[in-house]
Amino acid sequence: MSQADTSSMISVQGISKHYGDFQALQHVDLEIAKGEFVVLLGASGCGKSTLLNLVTGFDRPTGGRIFVNGRQVNKVDPHCGMVFQQYALFPWLTVIDNVAFGLKMKGISKAERHKTATHFIEMVGLKGFEHKYPNALSGGMRQRVSIARVLANDPDVILLDEPFAALDAMTRQVLQDELLQIYEKSKKTIIFITHSIDEALLLSTRMLIMSARPGRVVTDMVNDLPMPRNAEVQLSPRYNELKSQIWDTVQSEVMRSLKATSH
Amino acid sequence: MISKPPSRSALLSTSAASIIVFLAVWELICRAGWIDPIFLPPPSAVFAKAMGMAGEGTLIGNVLASGRRVMIGFLAATAVAIPLGIILGTSTYARAAFDPILSFLRPLPSMSWIPLSLLWFGITETQKYSIVFMGTFAPALVYVIEATRNVDPLLIRAAQNLGANRWQVMKEVILPGSLPQILSGMKVILGLAWTCVISAELVAAREGLGFLIMNGKEFFQTEVVVLGMLLISITVLVTDFVFRVLENRVLRWQR
């Protein structure tokens, strides 16, 4: 295959990544269609973040190619908007200027970019906080700003690297629901990294379970829980069926990697 | 043992009392005739001299002359050091090219530039500016380079991910991100700039605080010498205070 499949938003073709002798990823092939909400699930050290860093162009693969919306990734690509676990907000900019940052880079006028930023700040429920600095916000609010900042930049793909891992359980649940609403409204293609099976089931339309040493995708399964969804879906029988199915796979992978690390 | 933290006014009056006791002891020692006023004049004599010179206008004139030299030399040095430091801090090639020159310049004290600067510029204002510039430029550059390295690399990634190019990353992330550390470095550099200008004026000048001290010594006017030293301290304290106010305004987001 020399060209990217036109129907897919992200095409990962035979990607490997080595750090010296350490093989972080081994020949990963992946097609993600437009509008999918894909959750990458796996224990720490399985190469989830490595894969994401290759898709954004932060890192170079040792072998293979990646296409996003038909373009080969060979530098940091603003078409893949990234939401970081540690928020990565600019502390010297107010909420509105953080959200408008990408638009400023494109040379859009201040009035226009503030108009767009205001729209997305309202979408994530932060109306009234436009002129606060990130230091004055809680973790949950900071992550909302970070999501609004990516949305305002209108990327083809939104990548989230364990975005809610540092938040308390209540805030996490609220943000998960909000992210689902944003997904339904924006119809963006999303790749979301987590090590929580519940989070994966609640959010995804498709789940990729990854395994460590070497990092690769071991299971690719569709999440057929009905949309629109909210936290209540966790009470349905189908949810528990899928959960135990995933748990079997994850458990054996975790046991295997524990054995490999213990001496 | 746990004691109540002292109040602010209690601490302030302790400091004030310390100054008064210090001046009183100094005055008494001189009045008692234990020290020849040629070696150390009493504070009252220094104060009287200050009043006299203030009346003639020479007091403020000398402060302003030194202050102007410090500001011009300091601003010129930082105006070059900040952009250059950001480039050197982010580009490994620029760093490799500039590092040898920098390591040659860094160990040179500002005093060592005085003979050359006198040859090049004579006893002029430009010569004073150049001494301040040469004495502060290299350390300022080192501060800026160091500051850029402490910018969170995640913020640089975030900016690139939002579409910032190399130049925009420098202007929109590295500069504001390293500004707190650059400013605290500049405070140190400003103190250094004063040292430079005083040493330049001690060697060759027609006005300024360094000149005042040297001139006082020539004519055995020790009270002028002490007054000059006192004025240096006060001026540096005042500029430091002004700088801190500016710093707080620029770094509002940190609070």
Say if B213 falls within a structural domain. yes
Among B152, B154, B162, select the one facing A153 at the smallest CB separation: B162
From the CA of B248, how many Å to the nearest CA of chain A? 13
Whether the CB of B172 is below 8 Å from some CB of chain A: the reply is yes
Residue with more model confidence, A225 or A7:
A225
**pLDDT band for position A260 (cuts 50, 70, 90):** low
User: Cβ of B166: how many Cβ atoms within 10 Å?
Assistant: 10
Partners of A106 on chain B (C-beta within 8 Å) are 163
Closest CA to B235 of B206, B212, B251, B215: B212
Give the structural domain span for B112: 42-254
User: Cβ of B176: how many Cβ atoms within 10 Å?
Assistant: 18
Say if B78 falls within a structural domain. yes
> Residue A91: closest CA among chain B residues belongs to which residue?
B253
Q: Output the pLDDT for position A109.
A: 93
Say if B26 falls within a structural domain. no
Tokens for B222?
């020790």
In three state form, how does the secondary structure of chain B look?
A: CCCCCCCHHHHHHHHHHHHHHHHHHHHHHHHCCCCCCCCCCCHHHHHHHHHHHHHHCHHHHHHHHHHHHHHHHHHHHHHHHHHHHHHHHHCHHHHHHHHHHHHHHCCCCHHHHHHHHHHHHCCCHHHHHHHHHHHHHHHHHHHHHHHHHCCCHHHHHHHHHCCCCHHHHHHHHHHHHHHHHHHHHHHHHHHHHHHHHHHHHHHCCCCCHHHHHHHHHHCCCHHHHHHHHHHHHHHHHHHHHHHHHHHHHHCHHHC
Partners of A101 on chain B (C-beta within 8 Å) are 159, 162, 164, 172
Say if B21 falls within a structural domain. no
From the CA of B85, how many Å to the nearest CA of chain A? 20
Count up the domains in chain B and report the number: 1
Domains of chain A: 8-79+155-261 (3.40.50.300)
Report whether pLDDT(A263) > 60: no
Tokens for B226?
């002490």
Mean pLDDT, chain B, whole residue set = 89
CATH code for the domain in which residue B93 is found? 1.10.3720.10
pLDDT in tens, B88-137: 988 888 888 988 988 888 888 888 888 999 999 988 889 999 999 999 99
H or E segment at A244? helix A237-261
Q: Output the pLDDT for position A73.
A: 87
pLDDT in tens, B26-63: 999 988 888 888 888 889 988 988 888 888 888 888 88
H or E segment at A98? helix A95-99
Contact B158 A86 (CB under 8 A): no
Among B162, B165, B255, select the one facing A101 at the smallest CB separation: B162
Using CA atoms, how far apart are residues B134 and B132, in angstroms rounded to an integer? 6
From the CA of A112, how many Å to the nearest CA of chain B? 17
Over residues B201-206, mean pLDDT: 86
Contact B162 A80 (CB under 8 A): no
Say if B36 falls within a structural domain. no
Q: Output the pLDDT for position B255.
A: 65
Which residues of A lie closer than 8 Å to B, measured between beta carbons? 56, 58, 76, 78, 80-82, 84, 86, 88-93, 101-102, 104-106, 133, 135, 149-150, 153
Q: Output the pLDDT for position A6.
A: 54
The interface pTM score, or ipTM, of the predicted complex is 0.86
Q: How far is CA A116 from CA A109, A111, B47, in A?
A: 11, 9, 64
Say if B73 falls within a structural domain. yes
> Residue B171: closest CA among chain A residues belongs to which residue?
A105
Using CA atoms, how far apart are residues B106 and B167, in angstroms rounded to an integer? 28
pLDDT in tens, A118-128: 999 998 888 99
Whether residue B86 contacts residue B171, with contact meaning beta carbons closer than 8 Å, is answered with: no
Say if B130 falls within a structural domain. yes
From the CA of B78, how many Å to the nearest CA of chain A? 22
Mean pLDDT, chain A, whole residue set = 86
Say if B8 falls within a structural domain. no
